[in-house]
Amino acid sequence: MKITEDRFKGVIIELPDEEINEKSFEEELKRTWQSGKQLESAASGFTCLTERTRPLLICYKTDSVNIYPQVQSVLYNPEYHHAKKGKVVLLGWLPTDDTNNVPAYPYTGIGVGGLVINSNNQVLMVKEKYAFSEYFKLPGGHVDKGEDLHIAAIREVKEETGIDAKFKGIVQFRHFHDMPIEGHFCSDIYFIILLEPEDETQTIKIQANEIQCAQWINIEDALSGNSVSEHNKGFIKAARECLESNTFINIRKEEAFERVFSMWSIKNDS
């Protein structure tokens, strides 16, 4: 078992992969909280990181009086802060005279819609195999970890339609809460990425396990007909306005804090 102090004066307890003896676990906690340094830390928080939840749950059921009352309360009433692959993080707030200000785990999902327009004034649209409606929509999906927005849009368009595209600019983004997808129900930000086809002679090849059909639709038909939802019509109208003014949200790379990151800002290419 490894016990360290974080920069906020909290205590992080990392449990080993092997089974933990309940008595030794409690004795180690007692030694930790009896040290002056850790007493100061105990005023902020208590976090357990582990790949093995069963030993922890066993410890919660013990009746030891050797642990400080605040710590014992945390052990008996744990709060699951979040879980990731191979890790469960529990959080306990010890001070009774201060508010728990540990941030909640990230609660916003990021998605992209690839709005591909060709030189024939057509927009590339798809119908999903497992869709909420029968409307045509933009190809797109979730942004992967470590992936830039425009790269995600290009990838999703390629996966769903087989079309290679290049980045033009961000048109707009949508933000709403309680995304109605089972298991998520988090806030959602959806970026509309304007793209151009790399090769207009390229043939559509759908991703059969997710997409039932894909096709180029004349923009005027898309806006005037009933095959596209009003929501997606709004995206197309916004893209057309950006093209007419030649103004987009575009990307540049900067370096700070020993890492390279993306900066997005409005740019007029006239």
pLDDT at residue 157, rounded to an integer: 97
Range of the domain at 57: 2-92
**Token pair 């105990």 in the structure block, residue:** 42
Distances (CA, A) of 246 to 44, 54, 117, 142, 154: 52, 58, 14, 27, 20
Which of the two residues, 99 and 208, has the higher pLDDT score? Answer: 208
Per-residue confidence at 55, pLDDT binned at 50, 70, 90? Answer: very low
Quick one: what percent of the chain has pLDDT higher than 90? 42
Quick one: what percent of the chain has pLDDT higher than 70? 66
The residue out of 27, 62, 92 marking a domain boundary is 92
The residue out of 65, 92, 119 marking a domain boundary is 92
DSSP secondary structure of the chain: -EEEE-TTS-EEEE--SS---HHHHHHHHHHHHHSHHHHHHTTT-EEEEES-HHHHHHHHT---SSS-HHHHHHHHS-EEEEEETTEEEEEE---SSS---PPPPP-EEEEEEEEEB-TTSEEEEEEETT-SSS-BB--EEEPPTT--HHHHHHHHHHHHH---EEEEEEEEEEEESS--STTT--EEEEEEEEEEES-TTPPP---TTTEEEEEEEEHHHHHHSSSB-HHHHHHHHHHHHHHHHTEEEEEEEEEETTEEEEEEEEEE--
* 59 belongs to a structural domain: yes
* 157 belongs to a structural domain: yes
Count of domains forming the chain: 2
* 100 belongs to a structural domain: no
Which of the two residues, 256 and 200, has the higher pLDDT score? Answer: 200
Beta partners for 215?
A: 125
Read off the pLDDT of each residue in 54-79 and give the average, rounded to a whole number: 47
**Token pair 């709004």 in the structure block, residue:** 234
pLDDT tens digit sequence for 139-154? 999 999 889 999 999 9
Is pLDDT of 43 > 60? Answer: no
Q: Which of 25-29, 79-83, 217-221 has the lowest mean pLDDT?
A: 25-29
Q: What's the CATH code of the domain at 227?
A: 3.90.79.10
**Statement to judge: residues 73 and 130 lie in one domain:** no
**Statement to judge: residues 113 and 214 lie in one domain:** yes
pLDDT at residue 77, rounded to an integer: 60
**Statement to judge: residues 114 and 161 lie in one domain:** yes
**Statement to judge: residues 114 and 18 lie in one domain:** no
Per-residue confidence at 163, pLDDT binned at 50, 70, 90? Answer: very high
Alpha-carbon torsion angle 79, 67, 24, 74, nearest 10: 0
Is pLDDT of 8 > 70? Answer: no
**Token pair 């898309």 in the structure block, residue:** 222
Is pLDDT of 207 > 70? Answer: yes
